[in-house]
Amino acid sequence: MPPAAVDRSVLPEPGFLIGAEKITTHDGEVYEHRYAATGEVTYAVPLAGQQEVDAAVAAARAALPAWKRMPGNERRRLMLAFAAAVRASEHLAPIITVENAYPLAFTPYFTNWVAELFEFNAGYADKIGGEVVATFPGPAFDYTLDEPYGVVAVIVPWNGPFVSFGQWLAPALAAGNTIVIKPPEMAPYTCLALAELAVEVGFPPGVINVVPGGAVAGTALTSHRDVNKICFTGSGGTASRIVSASAPNLTPTAFELGGKSARIVFADADLDEAARRTLLGTGQACIAGSRVLVEAPVYDRLVEMSAALAAQVPMGDPFDPGTFVGPVISQGHADRILGFVDRAKEAGTGRLVTGGERLGGELADGYFLAPTIFADVDNSAEIAQEEIFGPVTAFMRFETEEEAVAIANDSEYGLAAHLETNDLRRAHRMARDLDAGTVWVNGFVDLPVGAPFGGVKRSGYGRQGGIWGIREFVQAKNVWMPL
């Protein structure tokens, strides 16, 4: 069965949420958003320009005094009400599926995660205060006040705008900041739907403003003098442009960027589980274990097992509950991914074991790519160094633990690492030695909301999650008086 035609009625009407107003028309640029499973246009989405960004920043500025002075327990109650509404909502999961064709079998996991992030951070809203500082030599009273930055600009990517909304906004709001969030043109819907839900449960207008758009809106926002902090999830290239745009104002930034993470599989691992996680842990995910390093004695077996799984993975209609893998986001992205595949084949830097093509037949109208495995890849090859952000994995063989660490760390990125081993000491040794913000051992991608998440090297700086996430959004003011 080909994927069912897109049901536009699940989507919020595209537009901008600025202060109390939802604006659905403008005379600026539009973007034809397409449902990736069928290629159908959902809406011609209006894209924010300078005017909308200016209005959104002004609305966030106007809402700031009342929001930051709102008693913490009231902010907590609002955040909990929002989390409850997200949990109860049935309309959000299908929006994610239409927005970026993520299979509906998994999207409720994301809505629950967003709710969890708000519940967790709501608990900080009434506990952020300050400290008393020891003074010497003279008698004095010195204390700190943890104050919000002010207006926070949040820029999110198309692969997970929904999760990024929760990861950045929950701590920022708990700490008393107001928000202008810019979802990308390729995924403009879920942030709007979430912000509208926040207004429904009682968030004051202007606390969360949404301006879907592309580079024009992004530049307007990141060069804006009245923005006090920029939080960005996306690629390193865009992060560099944001640094340039924000340099004149010295606006502080926090960056969650790309990765080329290693999955390191030892001979003592549970190979069935390792193969399953190898397959599921790739694709359009920043934390994808897209380089698979396998200890020599089990290398051929794991390549074979992974290829067999790749050939069977249920792909197709994202609304079918049995579908595990959907299409990639767009025609342009499919072409980009296949470009990596073609160049690797031409260069002969590895052996194509399976995949490497676009799927036809019933799936021909969507942007479906076969899960692709290259074996015997050298770590210096383009497919081992560049973030492909698609279903392509590069397998490499290693002999020793030291060699595995050296290969894994030979990357400009450092977002995550995935270890598959049953040797406890080795797991802890390697967790210490790997250049990565997160190390998963014998597990998939569970990320407790209380844990820090972020990268090292070109994967970014700053942390989301737990108390680390709160610290991104408060600045200590010091108060001193002699006694």
**Catalytic residue ranges:** 256
Tell me if 238 contacts ligand NAD by CB under 6 A: yes
State yes or no: residue 160 binds ligand NAD (CB under 6 A).
Answer: yes
Candidates 177, 190, 233, 354; binder of ligand NAD (CB under 6 A) is 233
259 vs 371, beta carbon nearer ligand NAD: 259
Does position 465 interact with ligand NAD (CB under 6 A)? The reply is no
Q: By CB under 6 A, is residue 219 in contact with ligand NAD?
A: yes
As given in the structure block, the two tokens for residue 443 are: 């597990």
Rank residues 166 and 206 by Cβ distance to ligand NAD and give the closer one. 166
Q: Which of 215, 347, 364, 406 binds ligand NAD (CB under 6 A)?
A: 215
435: three-class secondary structure by DSSP:
coil
CB atoms within 10 A of CB 165: 26
Instruction: Based on the shown chain and the rule CB under 6 A, indicate whether residue 22 belongs to the binding site for ligand NAD.
Output: no
What single string gives the DSSP state of each residue in 204-233?
PTTSEEE----HHHHHHHHT-TT--EEEEE
Interface with ligand NAD (CB under 6 A), residue from 130, 214, 252, 452: 214
Q: Which two tokens stand for residue 55?
A: 């209005």
Q: How many residues bind ligand NAD (CB under 6 A)?
A: 29
Binding flags for ligand NAD, 380-399, as an x/- string (CB under 6 A): -------x-x----------
Residue nearest to ligand NAD (CB): 218
For 292, list phi and psi in degrees, rounded to 5: -110, 110
Report the phi/psi class of residue 216: left, alpha or beta, with left for phi > 0 and alpha for psi in -120 to 50: alpha
Whats the size of the chain, residue-wise? Answer: 483
Contact pick of 15, 46, 157, 283 for ligand NAD (by CB under 6 A): 157
Q: Distance between CA atoms of 374 and 356, rounded to whole angstroms?
A: 9
Distance CA 411, CA 274 (A): 22
* Contact call for residue 258 and ligand NAD (CB under 6 A): yes
* Contact set for ligand NAD, span 269-308 (CB under 6 A): 286
Task: Please state, in angstroms and rounded to a whole number, the distance separating the CA atoms of residues 169 and 152.
Answer: 9
By DSSP bridging, strand 151-155 and strand 178-182 are parallel
CB of 109 to ligand NAD, least distance (A): 16
CB of 171 to ligand NAD, least distance (A): 14
Stretch that binds ligand NAD, among 22-30, 108-116, 217-225, 345-353 (CB under 6 A): 217-225
**Site membership for ligand NAD, residue 162 (CB under 6 A):** no
SS3 content of the chain, % helix, strand, coil (to 5): 40, 20, 40
Binding status of residue 156 toward ligand NAD by CB under 6 A? yes
Of 235, 249, 409, 475, the one binding ligand NAD (CB under 6 A) is: 235
Please name which of 447, 471, 477 lies closest in space to residue 172, comparing C-alpha atoms: 471
Per the CB < 8 A criterion, the answer to whether 110 and 162 are in contact is: yes
Residue 382 burial by CB count (10 A; 0-12/13-18/19+): exposed, middle or buried?
middle
Tokens 């610290």 correspond to what residue?
471
- Distance from CA of residue 379 to its chain's centroid? 25
For ligand NAD, the closer of residues 259 and 281 by Cβ is 259
Q: For binding to ligand NAD (CB under 6 A), which residues are involved?
A: 155-160, 182, 184, 214-215, 218-219, 222, 233-235, 238, 241-242, 256-259, 286, 387, 389, 415, 455, 460
